[in-house]
Amino acid sequence: MRAPGTRLSAAMIVRDEEAFLPDCLQSIHAIVDEIVVVDTGSRDATKAVARRFGARVFDFAWRDDFAAPRNHAIDQATGDWILYIDADERLRPIDPAYLRGMLSDASKVGYQLRFFPATGFTGYWEYRLFRNDPRIRFDGPIHEGMVPGMAKVAAAEGLEIGRLEATLDHVGYDGDQQRKHRRNLPLLRAGLARDPDRAFSWSHLGRVLTALGDEDGAIRAWRDGIDAVRRQSGYKPEFALPFLDLIPCLHERGEDTGPLLDEARRRFPDNMTLVWLTARAAMDSGENDAAAALLEQLAAIDGDAYFDGEIAHDRRIFGALAYQSLGTCCFRLGRFAESAAWYGRAEAREPEEPGHRLRRLAAEGRCRQ
């Protein structure tokens, strides 16, 4: 029997998710007290899969608005708490006693969970668990959020938002994303027309346009996102995103990214991806000593354990990318033994990449001369 006030409902929206849904529901069915699934028009076996796991399934006509079906799912939930989760996400195993203890904390209105947004990337804290309170509802056609509602309830009731040692892994970016990109494009534009200062949405719009073959449009979107950041005071982790998208894109085009990179480093001095981009720019300028110092900072970090808490980073900047680049810097500086060692570390990390071995052999050959 559950302690009063600790019943947990998982609320999710789905459409044609029969490939992803079983693993998601398998990850949560023993932890939650009910699963509420709102289907927005599946043509596959999604609803049958959900019912097989005991979910309560409801239909909701899609209206180009993610918040509406999410709120419909919450409206059907009977638990004291809501875990919002998507079909392409998995909850890592968690001690049920620990979870119930956290849900029994009367001082909390909700919790952040550790969230890993894509395979091969580090994670950050994301708001995913909150009290089933009619004042907490989602808003926005895409990148819909309920944090303002949580904050209002917290302020009104003297409650806090805590952190739960639980982890969600998102696997939905693996595989072909073209259908999602075409669906998301008009929603992102509609959302930005409503809230043009949303840096996260500008970043996402640029990535969607890039994937759809419109790189010039993506660059305009990221520049608009940076302008939005410049208009705002204070700090949000998402403010770094359009910088992190635009700088490497311009770098690949051979354009000068120095001023933009300098601005980003001033705004976000602790961002490790910006350290990587600065190191790469230094290498391109022939400043190999400066680049090596930055790369050694990255190589000293265990990417598998690193957790920024605010933003995701490609784990390779702490591993193979850092090692290979250090090998190159040392080679250029005539430090061939160090170069071979760094290339060897890259090879050990990515044995399937033949370039690491070839570079290591070249450095070792120079050692013998």
Neighbours of 259 (CB within 10 A): 8
Q: Which amino acid is at 119?
A: T
Range 124-135 average pLDDT? 98
Please determine, for residue 1, whether its predicted confidence score (pLDDT) is greater than 60. no
> 163 with 112: CB under 8 angstroms?
yes
Q: Which amino acid is at 11?
A: A
User: What pLDDT score does 145 carry?
Assistant: 94
Percent of the chain with pLDDT over 90: 96
User: What pLDDT score does 3 carry?
Assistant: 77
Range 279-289 average pLDDT? 97
DSSP helix, strand, coil percent of the chain (3-state; round to 5) = 50, 15, 35
User: What pLDDT score does 92 carry?
Assistant: 98
Please determine, for residue 205, whether its predicted confidence score (pLDDT) is greater than 80. yes
Rounded Cα distance between 65 and 190, Å, is 10
Which residues make beta-bridge pairs with 153? Answer: none
Rounded Cα distance between 235 and 348, Å, is 39
* Furthest C-alpha separation in the chain: 76
Write down the CATH superfamily of domain 270-369. Tetratricopeptide repeat domain (1.25.40.10)
* 80-93 tens-digit pLDDT: 999 999 999 999 99
Task: Using alpha carbons, select from 192, 194, 213, 195 the residue that is nearest to residue 205.
Answer: 192
User: What pLDDT score does 173 carry?
Assistant: 81
**Which residues touch 250 (CB under 8 Å, ≥6 apart)?**
219, 256, 257, 260
Is residue 84 within a helix (H) or strand (E), and if so which, with residue range? Answer: strand 81-84
Residue 12 φ/ψ, nearest 5 degrees: -145, 155
Neighbours of 286 (CB within 10 A): 10
Range 194-215 average pLDDT? 96
Q: What is the mean pLDDT of the chain?
A: 96
Using pLDDT thresholds of 50, 70 and 90, give the confidence band for residue 141.
very high
Please determine, for residue 212, whether its predicted confidence score (pLDDT) is greater than 70. yes
Task: Using alpha carbons, select from 304, 339, 303, 299 the residue that is nearest to residue 322.
Answer: 299
User: What pLDDT score does 219 carry?
Assistant: 98
Percent of the chain with pLDDT over 70: 99
Range 153-166 average pLDDT? 98
User: What pLDDT score does 368 carry?
Assistant: 83
Q: Which of 3-7, 24-28, 88-92, 188-192 has the lowest mean pLDDT?
A: 3-7
**Which residues touch 316 (CB under 8 Å, ≥6 apart)?**
120, 303, 322
Domain boundaries, the chain: 8-170, 270-369
> 187 with 206: CB under 8 angstroms?
no
Range 182-211 average pLDDT? 96
Question: Parallel, antiparallel, or unpaired for β 56-59 and 81-84?
Answer: unpaired
Number of helices (H), then strands (E), in the chain: 15, 9
* 296-332 tens-digit pLDDT: 999 999 999 999 999 999 999 999 999 999 999 999 9
What Cα–Cα distance (Å) separates residue 275 from each residue in 207, 257, 272, 292, 312?
A: 21, 14, 5, 11, 14
* Chain-centroid distance, C-alpha 24: 18
Please determine, for residue 281, whether its predicted confidence score (pLDDT) is greater than 80. yes
* 42-56 tens-digit pLDDT: 999 999 999 999 999
Range 97-105 average pLDDT? 97
User: What pLDDT score does 175 carry?
Assistant: 72
Token pair listed for 93? 């195993």
Decide: helix, strand or coil at residue 89: strand
Using pLDDT thresholds of 50, 70 and 90, give the confidence band for residue 2.
low
Token pair listed for 297? 């900072």
Range 220-238 average pLDDT? 96
Judge: domain 8-170, CATH 3.40.50.720.
Answer: no
Q: In which residue are the tokens 């110092």 written?
A: 293
Using pLDDT thresholds of 50, 70 and 90, give the confidence band for residue 61.
very high
What Cα–Cα distance (Å) separates residue 52 from each residue in 29, 35, 45, 162?
A: 11, 11, 11, 33
Range 84-110 average pLDDT? 97
User: What pLDDT score does 177 carry?
Assistant: 83
Q: In which residue are the tokens 């990390």 written?
A: 349
User: What pLDDT score does 146 carry?
Assistant: 97
